[in-house]
Structure 1
Amino acid sequence: MSLLNMTFRNVQRNFRVYTIYLFAMITGVMVHFTFSSLMYNQDILDVLNNKESFQTGVSIASVVIFLFIIFFILYANSFFMKQRKKEFGLYLLLGMKESQITRMVFFENLLIGSFSLVIGILLGGLLSKFFGMALMNLMQYDNVITLNFPYQAIGSTIILFLLLAIIASIQSFFMISRVQLVELFHAKEKMEKPIPSSFIMAALSLMLLATEFFLISRGKESSIWQDHLTFSMIAVTVGMIGGTYLFFRQFSGWLLHKIRQKHNYHEGNRVLWISSLRFQIRSNTLNLTFISLFSATIIFLIGFVSINYAVQFEAVGRNLPNDIAFQSLDKETNEKIDARIKNSEHSIEYHKTLEALVGKPNTNMDLAFENPEYFSKDVFLFPEKAYNEIISLRGNQEEIDLEDMEAVSLSQGTDSPKSFPSDQLPRFKVNVNEDITLKLIEKKDYALLGWASDPVQSMLLKPAVLIISDEAYQDLKSKAKTVHFEIYEIENEKQAESLSTDIHAIVTKKPDTYYSSFADVYSKQIEGSSLMLFAAAFLAVIALFALASVIYFKQLREATEEQRQYSILRKIGTADRELKSVIRKQLLFVFFPPLVLGILHSWLILKYYILDSVQDFPQLTSMLWFIFAIYFVIYVLFYLSSADLYYKIVNQKY
């Protein structure tokens, strides 16, 4: 019989096992082709304002997706090789060479890979249209995406899975060559021994986890993080990884041992599932640690990019509150710009001209503006009347009322806005052709003018703005240098890139002239955050599939190894309902702790290092709980399907 004939017969004989492998391969091809085809889809590229960044981002995400695909394909291949050790032992006994077995496995991989390529590319092409439309929706574009099979994506997918077939065959060769013939026949007969548990090590696992939780909950602004950053990071890392590992290695063993010592240990079916778990601790430890940390990573990734996406819509408006704003030029140029806006597709909702005094700060800018390197060197002083008028037009009712030399600094982007006590008002000195001292009563996270922008470079610098009383402004106006700003609010400002480019070209003919446009930044920020969310969702799908593979193959292996024990239980009269109960309890102990630890790890980091930094967005907490709920439901489905699979395998005739 030729190797090719043996290959076909092996696939037919092990169809149940190969169905799992085939499904993994098809899914890998489908996801890789879907993502790759988006990078070359001309319908998407035509609508984007930043094509290079999009393709770079997709390329980076493709590499990560490729690594995930390699991971779970090789994990699946490793499982198959262990399951087939007796079969390979028989081949060796009959005189086949290791190289012949390796070639046979290579042919099997090529056969399955070829079928997976055809099916995966066809399904991936269909999905690329759907996901392309989803990406356009995230970016708030209404362009139609056509069905497309880019040859670049097809070529990269073929190369990927040829490479996978070669790597899997090399892995198979080393696994076969390192095992003795006698060991092959006893591959499934090895029994694990329970790991001796220690109360001290069990307590240490809880102490490490408690240390991690405590340090994270202190928040990044706490003294322990500010003064001992390196120590805190090391302690959190050790607590998270070491604590999780010891929790499953020692604490779970100690807990099961304590349950075993109870007087009611032999009641019901407790003895069956506890005994099985005690013998599985050694092999379960790394898997459960991986599942916990991997779950935390997946949840954190999705939570972070979802928050970033949700915040971007409002954050762009806060950073650039004016649809178009620029420093007034000569009358002719101002009229030219006004005519260009009126002749565009963007109707003017309002147009205001603001006057400000220009000053030079004599006090350290840190006092009034957080991260002063992002602010202009000159300070612009606006009267409270102009400020209140603009915020009223924006629908903001938080007007300010100032007296004498009181002032409010607009430190847009600050993490710590504050109002100063009346007896501790900071003094901020400014020169407006004469030295004046202003009393800061508040530092606000707000922008009157917003970032200076550029159609290419996006955000540049923020004008340093102080709001002073009307009386003080009138007193200083005659002595100080004044400057005017034109503020436009227009319709459909999100699609005003072309208009902004034209006006920017006119304004910047005079060097160092302030110009700001909402559209310059909006499209880039939304495209970037949408791509991050889209790529993260793809990575999460692959990661969940990899996680499911780890769980699925592990349960498949354990169930296969325990067929004999369950066969004996059935022969002595144990009912099927009792067997199902044992399996569910046993798997619950395996599934529930990693889920809880994974959610705790991710929630603490998201809560104290992400949510606390964006407290102006209370809806984000609900969004995170929704993500947790979805992950919980998916995990429960993993649990139920694993329990069902486990029962079907152990219920087969042994």
Structure 2
Amino acid sequence: MSLLDLTIRNVKRNFRLYTIYLFSMITGVIIQFTFSSLMYNEDIMDALQNRGNFQTGVAIASVVVFIFIIFFILYANSFFMRQRKKEFGMYLLYGLSERQITVMVFYETLFISAISLVTGVLLGGLLSKLFGMLLMNLMQYDQVISLSFPVQAMLSTAGLFFLLALIISVQSYIMVNRVQLTELFHAKQRSEKPVRVSAVIAIFSLLLLGMAFALISSGKGSTFWQDYATWSMIAVTIGIIGGTYLFFRQFAGWLLQALSRHKSYHEGNTVLWTSSLRFQIRGNTLNLTFISLFSAAIMMLMCFMTINYKVQFDAVGRNLPNHIAFQSLEQATNAKIDDLIKSSKHEITFHLTHEGLVVSPVTDMHMAVDNPEYYTSDILLVSQRTYNELIAKRGHKQSVKLQGNEAVTLSQGSDFPKRYAPGEQSSFTVRTDTETTFKLTEKKDYAYLGWASDPEDSMIKKPAVFVISDAAYQDMSGHADTKSFEIYGIGDARNAEELSKQVHAIVTQTPGAYYSSFADVYSKQIEGSSLMLFSSGFLALIAIFALASVIYFKQLREATDERQQYSILRKIGVDNRQMKNVIRKQLLFVFFPPLVLGVLHSWFIINYYILDSVQGFPGLTGMVWGIMGVYFLIYLLFYVSSTNIYYKIVNEND
């Protein structure tokens, strides 16, 4: 019998063992091919405004997805190799060399990869239309996506999975060479010893987790993060990772030990489901720690990307609040631009010509704005009347009322906007031909002019703007240079890219002239955030399948090892209902703590470091809980399916 014949018989004989492996490979091919095909879909390319950025983003994301698939499949392969050690021992005993076993495994991998590739490409092609429509919906583009099987995507997917087959073969060869023949025969006969637990270390694990949660909940404005950011980050990392590890290594073992000492321990079925858990703690600590941290990472990834996507629609308008705004030029040039806008398909909703005073700061700009490096070096002073006129046109409730030397600084994007109480107002001095000191009554997260923009380079810098009282503006008018701006509101500003390019070309003929357009950034931001959310969804999908595989393989191995113990329980009279109850409780102890810790880790970080930064955007907290709720339902499905698989395995005939 040739190695190829032996390989085919082996796959047939172990088909159930290969089912999850085959399913994992098919899933990987579907995701890789579907994702790659987006880059070559002509309908999608026609709809995009920034094709180069999209193709670069998809290429990078494809590499990340494939790397994730590699680790996912390698984990599955390492499980199969451990499960088949006794089988390989028989092959070695019958005279097969390690090289021949590796060749046989390579044939098996090629066989499964071929099936996965054909099936995955067919299903991926069918799903590419659905995912393409989903991507267009995220980008809010009304584009019909046709069904396609791009040759480039098929060739790249086939090449990547052939490379994966080679990597798997190398891993298999290493694993076969590192194990002795005697170990192969006794690979499944090893038993774990209960880990030694300490009440002190168990409590210490809770203290580590508590320390991490306390530091996170203190907020980024606290002394810990302002003055000791590096040490705080190290402490949180140690607290989360070390605390989680010790929680499962010591606290879980200590809790099970405490249950075993309780007077009701031998009542009911407590002794049945806790006894095996005590022996599994040593081997499960890393798995449970990984599941907790991995769950937290999945939830944080999806929450962050979804929040980023939701915020972008409103954030573009906050960063560039004017549909078109530019520094006033010569009268003839201004008239030319005005005629150009009027002749376009975009209706003019309003047109204002506003004036401001250009002054130099004397006081450190950090007092007025966050990240002064993003702002121009000079400050533009606008009067209360001028500012409120524009705000009324926008329909925003951001008007101000000032008197005397009061001023409001516009620090759009500030993490710490603040309204100063009387007596707490900071002094800020500016220079014209003389120095003037203002009392800052508020640092407002709002923009009057917004970022200067470019159709190609997006956002560049933003003017530093103070709003001052009409009386103060009048007093300073003769002591500072003035600068005027033309501000337009137009219809369908989202699709004004072509108009913006034409206006920008005219304005930039004057070096250093300010220009800002909503359309320059909108398509880039929306397409970019949509692609990031879309890519994250694919990564999360792969991650969930990887997590499911970790859980499935762990339960499959433990159920197989404990089949004899459950056989004894059946012989002493434990019925099926009681056995299912024991399995449910045993697996609940394995599933529930990682889920709780994963949710806690992700919620604390998301709540105190993401949601706190976007408090002005409604509905985000509910969305975060919705994502966590969906993850909980998926995790619940894992639990139910694992209990069923566990029960079926332990009830198989020996």
- Tell me, yes or no, whether TM beats 0.5: yes
Cα displacement string for residues 295-349 of structure 1 (whole angstroms, at most 9, x for unaligned residues):
1111111111111111111111111111011111122211211111111111111
* Secondary structure, aligned partner of 1:40: coil
After TM superposition, give the deviation of residue 294 of structure 1 in Å.
0.6
- Residue 10 of structure 2 corresponds to which residue in structure 1? 10
Q: Distance in 2 between the 1:275 and 1:424 partners?
A: 64
Counterpart of 1:365? Answer: 365
Deviation at 1:424, TM superposition (A): 4.3
Residue 583 of structure 2 is matched in structure 1 by 583
**2:164 pairs with 1:164:** yes
Cα distance in 1 for residues equivalent to 2:577 and 2:474:
88
Superposed CA offset, 1:241-293 (max 9, x none)? 11111111111111101100111111111111101101111111110011011
On the 8 A contact 1:320/1:449 being kept in 2, the answer is yes
- The separation in 1 between residues aligned to 2:61 and 2:483, in whole angstroms, is 47
SS at match of 2:17: helix
How big is each residue's C-alpha offset from its partner over 1:399-439, in whole Å with a ceiling of 9 and x where there is no partner? 22222332222222222222233334333333444443333
Give 1:641's aligned residue.
641
1:272 matched to 2:272? The reply is: yes
Gapped runs of 5+ residues in structure 1?
none
What is the deviation of 1:450?
Answer: 1.0
| Deviation of the 1:18 alpha carbon | 1.3
Determine if contact 1:292/1:597 at 8 Å carries over to the other structure. Answer: yes
What is the match of residue 130 of structure 1? Answer: 130
TM-score, normalised on structure 1? 0.97
Is 1:322–1:517's contact at 8 Å kept on the other side of the alignment? yes
Query: 1:183 and 2:183 equivalent?
Result: yes
Displacement after TM superposition at 1:9 (Å): 1.2
- Cα shift at 1:184: 2.2
| 1:140 aligned counterpart, secondary structure | coil
Structure-1 separation of matches of 2:472 and 2:228: 46
Could you say if the C-alpha distance between residues 78 and 430 of structure 1 is closer, same or farther in structure 2, counting changes exceeding 3 Å?
Answer: closer
Q: Which moved more, 1:472-481 or 1:261-270?
A: 472-481
| 2:198 match | 198
SS at match of 2:439: strand
Letter in 1 for 2:8: F
- Per the alignment, residue 327 of structure 1 pairs with 327
- Output the CA distance in 2 between the equivalents of 1:427 and 1:623: 41
Describe the superposition over 1:2-57 as per-residue Cα deviations: whole angstroms up to 9, x where unpaired.
22211111111111111111111111111111111112323223332333322222
1:487 match: 487
The Cα shift of 1:621 comes to: 0.8
Distance across 1 between alignment mates of 2:179 and 2:415: 60
CA contact (8 A) 1:81 1:175 kept: yes
Q: Is the 8 A contact 1:357 1:432 kept in 2?
A: no
CA distance in 1, matches of 2:546, 2:599: 18
SS of residue in 1 equivalent to 2:95: coil
Distance apart, 1:132 and its partner CA: 1.5
How far apart, in 2, do the equivalents of 1:438 and 1:178 lie? Answer: 75
- Post-superposition shift, 1:60? 2.2
Q: Name the CA distance, whole Å, in 2 between partners of 1:437 and 1:90.
A: 89
Deviation at 1:494, TM superposition (A): 0.6
Residue type matched to 1:58 in 2?
V
CA distance in 1, matches of 2:322, 2:469: 23
Which residue of 2 is the match for residue 343 of structure 1? Answer: 343
Confirm whether residue 539 of structure 1 aligns to residue 539 of structure 2: yes
Give the equivalent residue in structure 1 for 2:248.
248
Q: Tell me the SS of whatever aligns to 1:53.
A: helix
Name the counterpart of 1:555.
555
| Alpha-carbon distance change, 435 to 184 in structure 1, aligned in 2, over 3 angstroms | closer
Report how far residue 524 of structure 1 moved: 0.9
Deviation at 1:135, TM superposition (A): 1.2
Q: Residues 273 and 585 of structure 1 are in contact (CA less than 8 Å); yes or no, is this contact kept in structure 2?
A: yes
Q: Which amino acid aligns with 1:381?
A: L
Partner of 2:444: 444
Deviations 1:514-534 (A, max 9, x none): 111000111111111111111
Give the residue type in structure 2 aligned to 1:503: V
SS at structure 1 position matched to 2:471: helix
TM-superposed CA distance for 1:479, in Å, is 4.8
- What's 1:606 paired with? 606
Q: Distance in 1 between matches of 2:407 and 2:179?
A: 80
Q: In structure 2, how many angstroms separate the alpha carbons of the residues matched to 1:74 and 1:220?
A: 39
Distance 1:424 1:230, change over 3 A: closer
* Other structure's SS at 2:583 match: helix
Shift of 1:537: 0.7
Identical amino acids, percent of aligned pairs:
65
**AA aligned opposite 2:143:** N
SS at match of 1:67: helix
Which residue pairs with 1:41 in the alignment? 41
Q: Which residue of 2 aligns with 1:219?
A: 219
Take 1:623 and 1:306, find their aligned partners in 2: how far apart are those partners? Answer: 8
Look up the equivalent residue of 2:33 and give its one-letter code.
Answer: F
State how far apart, in whole Å, the 1-side matches of 2:33 and 2:478 are: 68
Pairing of 1:228-627 with structure 2 (within 5 A): 228-627=228-627
- Equivalents in 1 of 2:366, 2:67: separation in Å? 45
State how far apart, in whole Å, the 1-side matches of 2:568 and 2:23 are.
Answer: 33
Deviation at 1:571, TM superposition (A): 2.1
**Aligned equivalents of 1:558 and 1:469: distance in 2?**
75
SS in structure 1 of the partner of residue 487 of structure 2: strand
Amino acid at match of 1:65: V
Which residue does 2:119 correspond to in 1?
119
User: What does residue 109 of structure 1 align with?
Assistant: 109
Q: How far did 1:471 drift?
A: 2.7
Local SS of the residue matching 2:558: helix
Per-residue CA distance 1:572-600 (angstroms, 9 max, x = gap): 22110011001100000000000011111
**Gapped regions of structure 2 (runs ≥ 5):** none
* Corresponding letter in the other structure for 1:525: Q
Matched with 1:147 is: 147
Contact 1:366–1:372 at 8 Å: present in 2 too? yes
Structure 2 distance, partners of 1:577, 1:454, is 69
One-letter code aligned to 1:101: I
Correspondences of 1:43-82 after superposition (within 5 Å): 43-82=43-82
Three-state SS of the structure 2 residue aligned to 1:326 is strand
SS class of match (1:102): helix
- Displacement after TM superposition at 1:200 (Å): 1.7
Aligned residue identity for 1:147: L
Amino acid at match of 2:641: S
- Aligned equivalents of 2:465, 2:201: Cα separation in 1: 58
Further displaced range: 367-376 or 539-548: 367-376
Q: Counterpart of 2:649 in structure 1: which amino acid?
A: I
Task: Note closer, same or farther for the CA distance 1:397–1:161 as it changes in structure 2 (3 Å cut).
Answer: closer
C-alpha separation in 2, matches of 1:461 and 1:180 = 66
Distance 1:48 1:41 in 2: 11
SS of equivalent residue, structure 2 residue 409: strand
Shift of 1:489: 0.8
Letter in 1 for 2:497: E
RMSD: 1.6
CA distance in 2, matches of 1:249, 1:87: 33
Letter of the 1:271 partner, please give it.
V
C-alpha spacing 1:384/1:538, structure 2 compared with 1 (3 Å): same
Give how far 1:190 is off.
Answer: 1.6
Point out the more displaced range, 212-221 or 367-376: 367-376
Which letter maps to 1:443? K
| Map of 1:94 onto structure 2 | 94
Q: Deviations over 1:196-222 (max 9, x none)?
A: 211122122111111111111111211
